[in-house]
Amino acid sequence: MNFETVIGLEVHVELFTKSKVFCGCSTEFGGEPNTHCCPVCLGMPGVLPVTNKKAVEYAIKAGLALNCEIASYSKFDRKNYFYPDLPKAYQISQYDLPIAKNGYIEIEAGGKTRRIGITRVHLEEDAGKLIHEEGKSNSLVDLNRTGVPLIEIVSEPDIRSPEEAWLYLNKLKSILQYIEVSDCKMEEGSLRCDVNISIRPEGSDIFGTKVEIKNLGSFKAVRRSLEYEERRQREVIEDGGELVQETRRWDETKGITISMRSKEQAHDYRYFPDPDLMPMVLDRDWVCEIKANLPELPDARKERYVKEFGLPAYDAGVLTSSKALSNFYEECISHYHDPKAVSNWVMVEMMGLMNEKGLEVEQIKLKPQQLAEMLRIMDKGVISGKIAKEVFRDMFETGKDPEVIVKEKGLVQISDENELEKIAQKVIDQNPKSVQDYKNGKEKALGFLVGQMMKETRGKANPQMVNEILKKMLG
């Protein structure tokens, strides 16, 4: 039997406001434990939370960028459960009137554009951090993160494969970074993801029994855990077994999901409106103003690169996948006339080196103007394309200007005819056999002689001139 996979994602993203969502404590990451706390976020009796306007603005902004309807009336609710990372014993969240709903994002999967629905985007507060030390009978609690604003983005069960889930996450992250509401760093916990997955016989429109997966530390883990779970569920059904609705934990080292003994009534959160917080009437003028100030989003930018710069859709997609990369590219082409050439250097050399060194655009020393300058030096014939690659690597590693590198390393291309002829003569004298082969009609032998000249000049000889001179001298 063929099965269809049905996946839905819940993504939590920390908004990068300066202060927490209901109090004035700093949201700064790190810091000594329990030093960003006050009576409000510690849940002391008698205190009143007051909503951070910026957090609401960011939530609206995210909703708009995800093509959602923005609620005109929205409120906060209490989600009640006991856990030591939650000092109030309830989390301030939104239940039935989220800030945004009914949106979508588009992903490119297998050459097709797929629209993935966004059920809702709501604003809530983050919980604290728990540390469980191996072999100790206690857990440690740091409440610095308690009360940092989060948005929860819930997708429709529209995702049909682990690959699509991965594409969805990348697109979502890219959009949120473009609109500058979060840095989306999974390693710092500012982006977290839970997934729901079920399978059903192909063609069926009834959902199968769903499993929730937790403890996903990277987008790669999301994809791997879904691949595993897809396979496991199929095997259970094929063996005549029955799936149970449960939460499973991803074990990264073993590469498997493990059932978490789910507590009964775990999902009975007894939501009710938070009487401490006043409802929000989201003024249409405000929403329009936020909409008008949305920056260009990745899809629009990609389209512009194709139209304006004539880049292939794939290249445009890669360059616009992250805002930082795209900004680097734009800065570079503002200093250089050929967008295609810049795109090639960025996509091949620069991204190659970034991959090799495990660096993000934000971390590299190379500046966009330096790449533009190097391309100009190349155009002038000062350095060859081959040498440029060497210069580029050096710029990437040291952040030095291309002129400086060329001068320091003596990389200026040799385009002096007399000098090249002298070197050519030497090569001809040293390689009589190849010379003879060439004269006997073996075209390949010329390539060998060109290579010898490049070796002799450590790659600095002007390649076109070398070809011409050798041909001329070999008559």
Q: Residues in the site for other proteins, rule: CB under 8 A?
A: 17-19, 23-26, 32-39, 42, 50-56, 73, 75, 80, 82-84, 97, 130-132, 136-143, 214, 249, 260-261, 265, 268, 270, 273, 275, 277-281
- Number of neighbouring beta carbons within 10 Å of residue 324: 13
To 10 degrees, what angle do helices 323-333 and 368-379 make?
40
Cβ partners under 8 Å of residue 406, min gap 6: 377, 382, 383, 391, 412
Min CB(141)–other proteins separation in Å: 4
Distances (CA, A) of 377 to 40, 326, 393: 60, 24, 15
Please state, in angstroms and rounded to a whole number, the distance separating the CA atoms of residues 60 and 121: 9
* Residue closer to other proteins (CB basis): 261 or 433: 261
* Residue closer to other proteins (CB basis): 131 or 300: 131
Please state, in angstroms and rounded to a whole number, the distance separating the CA atoms of residues 194 and 402: 46
Q: Are 169 and 184 in contact (CB under 8 A)?
A: no
* Residue closer to other proteins (CB basis): 214 or 335: 214
For the chain, state the CA radius of gyration: 30
Min CB(84)–other proteins separation in Å: 5
* Residue closer to other proteins (CB basis): 54 or 393: 54
Kind plus residue range of the DSSP H or E element containing 401: none
Per the structure block, which two tokens stand in for 293? Answer: 């100030």
Cβ partners under 8 Å of residue 230, min gap 6: 5, 162, 197, 199
Q: Are 114 and 107 in contact (CB under 8 A)?
A: yes
Min CB(394)–other proteins separation in Å: 43
* Residue closer to other proteins (CB basis): 281 or 300: 281
Min CB(90)–other proteins separation in Å: 11
* Residue closer to other proteins (CB basis): 143 or 332: 143
Min CB(151)–other proteins separation in Å: 15
* Residue closer to other proteins (CB basis): 141 or 446: 141
Distances (CA, A) of 114 to 219, 349, 458: 19, 31, 51
* Residue closer to other proteins (CB basis): 39 or 310: 39
* Residue closer to other proteins (CB basis): 42 or 474: 42
Min CB(38)–other proteins separation in Å: 5
Distances (CA, A) of 159 to 153, 168, 245: 14, 8, 19
Three-state SS across 146-203? CCCEEEEEEECCCECCHHHHHHHHHHHHHHHHHCCCCCCCHHHCCEEEEEEEEEEECC
Q: Are 190 and 183 in contact (CB under 8 A)?
A: yes
Using DSSP bridges, classify how beta strands 246-251 and 211-214 pair: parallel, antiparallel or unpaired: parallel
Q: What is the dihedral of CA 366, 371, 373, 376, to 10 degrees?
A: 160
Please state, in angstroms and rounded to a whole number, the distance separating the CA atoms of residues 21 and 126: 9
Min CB(75)–other proteins separation in Å: 4
Q: Count Cα atoms within 13 angstroms, Cβ side, for 167.
A: 22
Min CB(220)–other proteins separation in Å: 23
* β-pair partners for 247: 212, 260
Using alpha carbons only, what angle is made at residue 115 by residues 112 and 117, rounded to the nearest 5 degrees? 160
* Residue closer to other proteins (CB basis): 152 or 274: 274
Min CB(166)–other proteins separation in Å: 25
Min CB(161)–other proteins separation in Å: 28
Min CB(286)–other proteins separation in Å: 10
* Residue closer to other proteins (CB basis): 56 or 450: 56
